Structures are given as C-alpha cells and as structure tokens.
Amino acid sequence: MNDRRSFFVLTMLVFGFAFLYLPIIAMVIYSFNASRLVTVWDSANSPTLAWYVELFHNSQIMDAAKLSFRIASVNATGAVILGTLAAFALQRYRKFRGRAMFGLLTTAPMVLPEVITGLSLLLLFVALEQGIGWPSGRGATTITIAHMTFSMAYAIVVIQARLATVDRSLEEAAMDLGARPWKVFAVITLPLIASAIASAWVLAFILSWDDIVITSFVSGPGSTTLPQLVFSKVRLGVSPDINALATILVLIVSLAVVVAGTYMMRRDRRRMRDSQAAQGATG
C-alpha cells in the first residue's frame, strides 16, 4: 500500500517537473537549430550559433535590453527604499491613523489584474499631463513609476517577513544606550535585514524586467522595453533569435538561482552547526 502510494507520488513528481522543464529545454535546443522554421531540425547545418550572432547584431533588441535593464534597476532601488519604509511602518508602528487603509494599499497591487493596474495608471498620467503638465508624454519615467508601484508591494512582503523575526531587544538596547532612531535603524536593523532587502531588490528587478501588460499601457512611442519587443515579435509566430535570447536569459537566471541556493544551503548548515555547538557548550 505504502509502496504504491510513494510510486504514485514519484510518478507525479517526474511528470510535474518534466511538464515544467521540457518546454524550456526544447526552447534551448531549438536556439541552436539552423532552420528558420525553428521547430524543423536542419540536421545538415545544426547546431549553429548563428542566431546568437544575429541577436547581438540586432541593435533594436540590444537597445530594448538596455532600456529594460535601466528601468528595472531604478525600479528595484526605488521599490526597495519605499518597501523598507512601508514594511517598517507596518511591522513596528502597531497603531497609526489609516493603518487599515495602508495595509490594503500595500497588498492590493499584488492581486489586482495587470490590465486594471495598467489602465488606471495610464488614465492617471493622462489626467496629470492635462492638469499640471507632468509627465509630458509617456516613456521610461512613467514605466518606472508604474513598475515601482506594483513591485513595491512584493518588496514589502519580503522585508516585513524578515523584520518580524528580528530580535527587538537589540534595537531596544541601542535605544536605551541613547542611540537615535535613525542610528538604531542604520547600525542595528539594516544589517539584520540586509539579505531580505537584497532578495526584495532582485525580485523587484525581475518583476520589472519581465513585465509586459502594465508596460504596454504606460509606455510611449519612443520607449520599447525588451518584453514589448519580444511580444510584438512572437505575436507573428516563433522566431529563432527569440529562442537564442530566451536561452541566454534562462542561463543567467539558472546560474543566479543555483549560486543563491548553494549559498543559502551552506548558511543553513553553518547555522545548524553553530547552534549545536552552542547547545553543547551550555549543556
């Protein structure tokens, strides 16, 4: 009975991961296919790096990638600053006027459909332009503002979760010794939540780097981000250079996740060893 159950679970695991990964693996393999028909393997001329060469010579794609990178970096930095403040307010200031509203505003952007967020922000930018003349037209600035608004919500979740586990007695001790609140934050709290802030930054970067729907609403004619370019290309059908682009992006992300993963596992193991050692010392 037990064997039969674990066999079922194992089968589902294999099936599930195959489902998640086979399409990505296929995309990587096809990126080396010489045929323009992407999924028809041209065994005479493949594998080839032709599409990678073409990709790097495509100035349109390179420009879009640069713009996306710039927007994603600025967005991540802004979202993390606002997110840290908001997380601190929600976690440390238990009571203040409008707290319930604040809580709602910080979580709503995560569950709101992207078409609604995009539509509403565009309507705001249009109204602002008519009313006060800013922002004049739409482009990198409006995209960054829109991205910050929704990625900030994710940053708050990550940072708040870490803040909740920080031992407050350290902050109180520093406060008792006469340190100003800002100093306490900079010297005690910030180092303790640094890893969460780093994760929030990466998360905000990726959310922005990847966004297509909200971006399409708030972008202007002069600013095309990488996802926008990819989207307009693939709407017309599969395209070999997009496979090459996808392969590069998947490679970068996999490397980053593997590095982060091994680092986290090592840290956990070290922590476990340390706490065992500490118990041994006291016991």
- Footprint of another protein on residues 81-100 (CB under 8 A)? 82-83, 85-86, 88-89, 93, 95-98
For residues 129 and 135, give the distance between their C-alpha atoms in angstroms, rounded to a whole number: 5
56 is a contact residue toward another protein (CB under 8 A) = no
Closest to 211 in 3D by CA, of 201, 222, 226: 226
Check residue 170 for interaction with another protein (CB under 8 A). Answer: no
**Calpha distance 256→137 (Å, rounded):** 36
CA angle 211/253/248 to nearest 5° reads 90
Instruction: Please list every residue from 226 through 265 that binds another protein, using CB under 8 A.
Output: 227, 230-231, 234-235, 237-238, 242-243, 245-246, 249-250, 253-254, 256-258, 261, 265
What's the min distance (Å) between Cβ of 113 and another protein? Answer: 3
The rounded distance, in Å, linking the Cα atoms of 42 and 240 is 13
Q: Which amino acid is at 63?
A: D
Alpha-carbon dihedral sign for residues 157, 159, 161, 164:
negative
| Per-residue DSSP letter, 185 | I
Please report how close the Cβ of residue 279 comes to another protein at its closest, in angstroms.
20
Which of 148, 163, 174, 197 lies at the binding interface for another protein (CB under 8 A)?
A: 148
Q: Which of 44, 111, 177, 281 binds another protein (CB under 8 A)?
A: 111
Asked if 215 and 143 touch (Cβ cutoff 8 Å), the reply is yes
Question: Of the listed pieces 54-62, 161-169, 174-182, 193-201, which binds another protein according to CB under 8 A?
Answer: 174-182
Q: Which of 18, 39, 53, 187 lies at the binding interface for another protein (CB under 8 A)? A: 39
Q: Is 166 in the site for another protein (CB under 8 A)?
A: no
